[in-house]
Amino acid sequence: MQEDALNFKEMCEKFEVTPRTLRYYEYIELLTPVREGRSRFYTPREVARMTLILRGRRFGFSLEEIRQWLLLYDKKATSTQEEAWIELATSKLDVLQQERARLDDTITDLTNLRDTVASSMTKPND
């Protein structure tokens, strides 16, 4: 096995994921480790894919969206991948901006309510 390959335990530790998560990513074909007997080894390619998977999850992409994007990367030219990525990112940014607007409204409402209650507590009772 390559010197720079990680075993299963090292991969879990490096990315702070559970063994169950790592096995699931393999099951849905996001990762394809090299197998030697019962052991799994993750090459630098798989480490890079895991980095992209976790980044995609942090951005809010579904595992299916990530899987499709990685498949596209494996099968088509780089420009096709970049075009697909731009479309996915634009769509996700729209959703995140809408969520942020809703959160901003909620924060404003909660702040105003808190301030109203706080100010009523400092007024002397008549």
pLDDT number for residue 25: 95
pTM over 0.75: no
8 and 63, same domain (yes or no)? yes
Whole-number Å distance between alpha carbons of 62 and 65: 5
pLDDT number for residue 76: 65
Whole-number Å distance between alpha carbons of 8 and 40: 6
pLDDT number for residue 126: 54
63 and 117, same domain (yes or no)? no
57 and 109, same domain (yes or no)? no
Q: What does residue 39 show for φ and ψ, rounded to 5 degrees?
A: -90, 150
Domains identified in the chain, total number: 2
Tell me the mean pLDDT per 10 residues along the chain, length 126.
86 97 94 93 94 92 86 71 83 95 97 94 70
- Strands, E, within 1-126: which ranges? 6-7, 34-36, 39-42
- Establish if 66 belongs to a structural domain: yes
What is the span of the domain harbouring residue 117? 77-121
